[in-house]
């Protein structure tokens, strides 16, 4: 089994998710937003699956550092997508594809004991 993890390497949530996956003997393919960018087609899928409110991390330091005009771009899907592509650190992390399921912000991949 292998999971694909999208995020940035210094993010504590990404680190927790990767550690949890590895503890459960799951291989990890890591896609670093900083090095490889954000896959635009996948970003569309994430926005459709989770909605803008969940994909845009409005609690992080990158978001808080944006001026109000840039933050207001995130009100529309088109503006939000452009902003997320330009500032990938404002994407809620981690985004994980595992066993046919897509999750965002999930860090615990322990197997259910039942």
Residue 110 included in any domain: no
Residue 94 included in any domain: yes
Each residue of 53-74: pLDDT tens digit? 999 999 999 999 999 999 999 9
Residue 72 included in any domain: yes
Residue 114 included in any domain: no
Q: Please give the Cα distance from 32 to 79 (Å, whole number).
A: 22
Overall pTM surpassing 0.85 (yes/no): yes
Please give the positions annotated as active site. Answer: 11
The count of domains in the chain is 1
Q: What is the CATH number of the domain that holds 60?
A: 3.40.30.10
CA dihedral 30, 34, 39, 42 (to 10 degrees): 60
Residue 113 included in any domain: no
By residue range, what is the domain housing residue 84?
2-104
Query: Per-residue pLDDT averaged across 92-103, rounded?
Result: 96
Residue 111 included in any domain: no
Using alpha carbons only, give the angle 107, 11, 58 rounded to the nearest 5 degrees. Answer: 90
85 near 47, Cβ under 8 Å?
A: no
Average pLDDT across the chain, whole number = 93
Residue 58 included in any domain: yes
Name the band, by pLDDT with cuts 50, 70 and 90, for residue 114: very low
Each residue of 18-57: pLDDT tens digit? 999 999 999 999 999 999 999 999 999 999 999 999 999 9
Residue 59 included in any domain: yes
């Amino acid at each position: 089994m292998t999971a694909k993890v999208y995020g940035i390497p210094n993010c504590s949530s990404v680190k927790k998710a990767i550690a949890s996956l590895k503890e459960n003997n799951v291989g990890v393919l890591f896609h670093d937003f900083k090095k490889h960018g954000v896959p635009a087609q996948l970003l569309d899928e994430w926005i459709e699956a989770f909605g803008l409110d969940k994909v845009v991390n409005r609690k992080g330091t990158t978001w808080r550092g944006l001026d109000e005009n840039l933050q207001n771009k995130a009100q529309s899907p088109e503006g939000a997508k452009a902003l997320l592509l330009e500032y990938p650190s404002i994407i809620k992390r981690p985004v994980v594809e595992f066993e046919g399921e897509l999750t965002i912000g999930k860090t615990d991949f322990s197997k259910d004991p039942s």
